[in-house]
Amino acid sequence: MASDIEALTKLVQNFCEDRDWDQFHPPKDLAIGISTEANELLDLFRFKTDEAVKEKLKTDQFKERVSEELADVLFFVLRFSQMNSIDLSQALQEKLKKNAIKYPVETSKGSNRKYNE
């Protein structure tokens, strides 16, 4: 099974093109898809304590549900990037460089504060 971003993007592209779905995937709708699927993932954790989540993640059934929602989010992210010629690998590397400036190890290690706090 393909595991790098480019190969996964191609899998998603082929899946969608085989179904003639390009017409349904303008940027707005793909962004909505990312948000919708992320919220479906979030819903799995609603009203649960951290400890309850850790326990639930030990079960195959819950872990499968989480995995499916993560896959749905990834599907839409990959499709958005493919349809809009965004190199996700490059985008992530550039974002990490920017975040390294905002969050230097010396001041950020062990801290969850935002860079401007």
Instruction: Taking each helix axis as running N to C, give the angle between helix 27-43 and helix 60-83, from 0 to 180 degrees, rounded to the nearest 10.
Output: 170
For position 114, what pLDDT does the model report?
86
Domain that holds residue 64: 26-107
Give the model confidence (pLDDT) of 38-51 as tens digits: 999 999 999 999 99
Residue 38 lies in a domain: yes
Q: What is the pLDDT of residue 117?
A: 84
In a domain, residue 40? The reply is yes
Torsion sign (Cα): 55, 57, 60, 66: positive
Compute the mean pLDDT over every residue in the chain, rounded to the nearest whole number: 95
pLDDT of residue 35: 98
- Structural domains in the chain (count): 1
pTM of the predicted model as reported, rounded to 2 decimal places: 0.90
CB 83 within 8 A of CB 22: yes
The CATH number linked to 94 is 1.10.287.1080
Q: What is the mean pLDDT of residues 58-66?
A: 98
* Cα(64)–Cα(3) distance, integer angstroms: 19
pLDDT confidence bin for 2, thresholds 50/70/90: low
- Average pLDDT on 79-87 reads 97
Q: Is residue 59 part of a domain?
A: yes
Share above pLDDT 90 across residues of the chain, in percent, rounded to a whole number: 93
DSSP structure class, residue 24: G
